[in-house]
Chains A and B, each alone.
Chain A
Amino acid sequence: MPTISPSLVFQLTLIGLVFFSLQISAAVLVYFERKISGWAQQRVGPNRVGPLGLLQPLADIVKLIFKEELRPQAADKWLFYLAPVLSATTAFAAFAVIPFGPPTTFFGLLEKPVPLQVADLNVAVLVVFAITSMGIYGIVLAGWASNSKYSMLGGLRSAAQMISYEIAYGLALASVLVIANTLSLREIVDGQAGVWWLFNIIPVPAWYVFLAPVGFFIFFVAGIAETNRAPFDFPEAEQELVAGYHTEYSSMSFALFFLAEYVNMVVVCGVTVSLFLGGFYMPGLPVWLGPLWFVGKVAVLLFFYIWMRWTLPRFRYDQLMDFGWKRLLPLAIVNLLVTAAGVLYWS
């Protein structure tokens, strides 16, 4: 048994903190999704449950807990219950390598500064990619195990979509790696700490989005397609496929899929912020408030996510695949080449 040291206690506290923050963020996202969708459609959104409808997520969770848990008889029992567990686990695990605060000694309780990150690996970028690619299994197994036509089609289509957009995701990621020269997320964030002086007068934050804007666009779009959100949510489109791969799920299994989708959104936004938008650094403002700036930037990106869902029409499935393979992938390759050429030229 390892000895109970302050650093072990700190590590466990950090894990608990991140885990519970992600769950709370999922609840907050449920509320804001419904509120923002209401405002986008010129209506009020939930406002009955609690002041301003703030207790709506609580009501949703209570409803989901008390619903009857159904399983089609022909469904494979083990796989049917394994699928939502896989989805939720991979969604939470991917957040383990995202840094959300500068190294801190936590008011002098620890001997040496520890970065606010659950796991500080030197291949962190690849770990995020790996765990995201494991998320496909939850969807494919859900589609297969439900033993129903809607689920099967939805699951296969969703998995094909996720695999296709992973390539553009990885290539856009590679363009940042060419600039940053390291695979560790903490070092990538640290590289965006300062300020550049445009024409020696205007301060511009030293974020990689200004060096690779096309990469940012590709990464964010591929991230939206990875999380199966509009306008790429054909596999779970209500009008076409009932509910896609989670048609046959109810109560807590459905809640796990729901949770997995929102946590995946938070993960994609978190990775985008760390890679392109400077992580927890805000030039000119105190860096020990890092988590606050991180949460703020993630919130802005999540607002874009929700705004896009209720503004853009849905892609048809062949349009979706066409966009991923024939437009986004060549763009990502060209972007990588141009970024590499630029780095070579200016160094």
Chain B
Amino acid sequence: MAPWLFYLFAVISVVSSLGVVGQRNPMYSVLLLIGSFISLAGLYVGLDSPFVAVTQIVVYTGAIMVLFLFVVMLLNAPREDVAPGPRLPIPGAIKAYGVALAVAMAAMLVWALSRLGAVPFVDDPQAAARVASVRDIGVMLFRDHAFAFEVTSILILVAMVGAVVLAKKTV
């Protein structure tokens, strides 16, 4: 994958994720997250995995994010983070502590990964063809992981029923 393309998608996804976390308006957060997901799909295409890229767009941006969008619109989510009732003011110190913790975790991960030594991708067209073949994915999914596949279908059914029951108005 051309380096400039990788950096472009990486920058878009990081900046969008920062926007999701920092943005006050939940509607903008959802849309920025959609932007982040699309750039991740671009990264998957660069990793010779077009099937995962398209599945990411269909499942994540096409379904899960639409659900988030509907909930944000339905609840008319307030723009500011206010906590009514028993007033628990969050002093700036606690937020700064949270940021420091996250930055510390990022620093630890970066340090650990930098000690790995540069591991270049095998520029082997055979490896790329093996990974990109949708037929292999299908065979492995339905033969080796058939049980997990069926269990996820039950999981989705349970989630659907649970969501309908939890969100129903009990009037």
Listed in ascending order, the chain A residues whose CB lies under 8 Å from chain B are 76, 78-79, 82, 121-123, 126-127, 129-131, 133-134, 136-137, 140-141, 144, 152, 156, 159, 163, 183
Complex: how many Å from CA A176 to CA B63? Answer: 23
Contact B58 A121, beta carbon cutoff 8 Å: no
Listed in ascending order, the chain B residues whose CB lies under 8 Å from chain A are 27-28, 31, 34, 50-51, 54-55, 57-58, 61-63, 66, 69-70, 73, 132, 134
- Nearest Cβ distance between residue B33 and chain A, in whole angstroms? 12
- Nearest Cβ distance between residue A180 and chain B, in whole angstroms? 13
Complex: how many Å from CA A123 to CA B58? Answer: 13
Can you give 5 A-B contacts (C-beta < 8 A)? Answer: A122-B134, A123-B134, A134-B61, A140-B66, A163-B63
Of A79, A126, A136, the residue contacting B27 (CB under 8 A) is A79
Of B50, B55, B62, the residue contacting A136 (CB under 8 A) is B62
Contact B34 A126, beta carbon cutoff 8 Å: no
Contact A123 B54, beta carbon cutoff 8 Å: yes
Complex: how many Å from CA A123 to CA B50? Answer: 7
By a CB distance below 8 angstroms, the chain B residues around A76 are 27
Contact B27 A183, beta carbon cutoff 8 Å: no
Contact A144 B27, beta carbon cutoff 8 Å: yes
Contact A183 B134, beta carbon cutoff 8 Å: yes
Complex: how many Å from CA A137 to CA B73? Answer: 13
Contact A133 B54, beta carbon cutoff 8 Å: no
Contact B54 A126, beta carbon cutoff 8 Å: yes
Q: Which A residue sits closest to B41, measured CB to CB?
A: A130
Q: Which B residue sits closest to A145, measured CB to CB?
A: B27
By a CB distance below 8 angstroms, the chain A residues around B34 are 137
Q: Which A residue sits closest to B73, measured CB to CB?
A: A144
- Nearest Cβ distance between residue A245 and chain B, in whole angstroms? 13
By a CB distance below 8 angstroms, the chain B residues around A127 are 54
By a CB distance below 8 angstroms, the chain B residues around A137 are 34, 66, 69
The number of residue pairs between A and B whose CB atoms lie closer than 8 Å in the complex comes to 53
Contact B58 A130, beta carbon cutoff 8 Å: yes
By a CB distance below 8 angstroms, the chain A residues around B69 are 137, 140
By a CB distance below 8 angstroms, the chain B residues around A163 are 63, 66
Contact A134 B62, beta carbon cutoff 8 Å: yes
By a CB distance below 8 angstroms, the chain A residues around B73 are 140, 144, 152, 156
By a CB distance below 8 angstroms, the chain B residues around A121 are 50
Contact B50 A133, beta carbon cutoff 8 Å: no
- Nearest Cβ distance between residue A186 and chain B, in whole angstroms? 15
Complex: how many Å from CA A129 to CA B66? Answer: 15
Complex: how many Å from CA A127 to CA B56? Answer: 11
Q: Which A residue sits closest to B74, measured CB to CB?
A: A156
- Nearest Cβ distance between residue B131 and chain A, in whole angstroms? 12
Complex: how many Å from CA A126 to CA B50? Answer: 10
- Nearest Cβ distance between residue B52 and chain A, in whole angstroms? 10
A123-B57 contact given A136-B62, A140-B69, A144-B27, CB 8 Å threshold: no
- Nearest Cβ distance between residue B31 and chain A, in whole angstroms? 8
Complex: how many Å from CA A281 to CA B73? Answer: 47
By a CB distance below 8 angstroms, the chain B residues around A130 are 54, 57-58, 62
A129-B58 contact given A121-B50, A136-B66, A144-B73, CB 8 Å threshold: yes
Q: Which B residue sits closest to A184, measured CB to CB?
A: B134
By a CB distance below 8 angstroms, the chain B residues around A126 are 51, 54-55, 58
Q: Which A residue sits closest to B28, measured CB to CB?
A: A78
Q: Which B residue sits closest to A160, measured CB to CB?
A: B70
Cβ-closest 6 pairs across A and B: A133-B62, A130-B57, A126-B54, A130-B58, A123-B50, A130-B54
A159-B66 contact given A122-B134, A130-B58, CB 8 Å threshold: yes
By a CB distance below 8 angstroms, the chain A residues around B50 are 121-123
Complex: how many Å from CA A133 to CA B69? Answer: 14
Contact A133 B58, beta carbon cutoff 8 Å: yes
Q: Which B residue sits closest to A121, measured CB to CB?
A: B50
Complex: how many Å from CA A79 to CA B72? Answer: 14
By a CB distance below 8 angstroms, the chain B residues around A122 are 50, 132, 134
Complex: how many Å from CA A156 to CA B27? Answer: 15
Known interface pairs A123-B134, A137-B34; 18 further A-B residue pairs with C-beta atoms within 8 A, sorted by A's residue number: A76-B27, A78-B28, A82-B31, A122-B132, A126-B58, A129-B58, A130-B62, A133-B57, A133-B61, A134-B62, A136-B62, A137-B66, A137-B69, A140-B73, A141-B31, A144-B27, A156-B73, A163-B66
Complex: how many Å from CA A183 to CA B54? Answer: 12
- Nearest Cβ distance between residue A152 and chain B, in whole angstroms? 8
